[in-house]
Amino acid sequence: MVDIDLSIENLQKCICPECPVQSKSQCADEKLEKMIESELMQEENISNPQEIPGLYCVTGESKCKDFDSEQTCQCSGCYIWNEYQLGKREPREYFCINFEVL
């Protein structure tokens, strides 16, 4: 999925921050807070992809280990998921916990 840009524009479309899989994750919360404190969507965030609590279809699975895989992935409702037809690729969703970027 390297054809999806790790860009501010795409980050703004990502709905991972609202997803129940990571909504109770302290680890993701801290990353989100840090991103907001450092003035959300600044370029420096993009240069450190592991610190972004989203865009996992680009960056690969999160380093956070407290995600709840029993909850439902929201990717199919995301503009990027539809634009890039990620439902036709593997994995189709849950990129935050099962997508290894080589």
Nearer to ligand SF4, 44 or 68 (CB): 68
Tokens of 3: 């054809």
Supply the DSSP symbol for 100.
Answer: -
Closer residue to ligand SF4 (CB): 47 or 85? 85
Least distance in Å: CB of 47 to ligand SF4?
A: 18
Shortest separation between residue 45's beta carbon and ligand SF4, angstroms:
14
- Residues of this chain that bind ligand SF4 (CB under 6 A): 14-16, 19, 21-22, 54-57, 73-75, 78, 80-81, 86, 93-96
What is the phi-psi region of residue 48: left when phi exceeds 0, alpha when psi lies from -120 to 50, beta otherwise?
A: beta
Distance (Å, rounded) from C-alpha 74 to C-alpha 86?
A: 12
User: Are 22 and 67 within 8 A, CB to CB?
Assistant: yes
Q: How far is the CB of 26 from ligand SF4 (least distance, A)?
A: 15
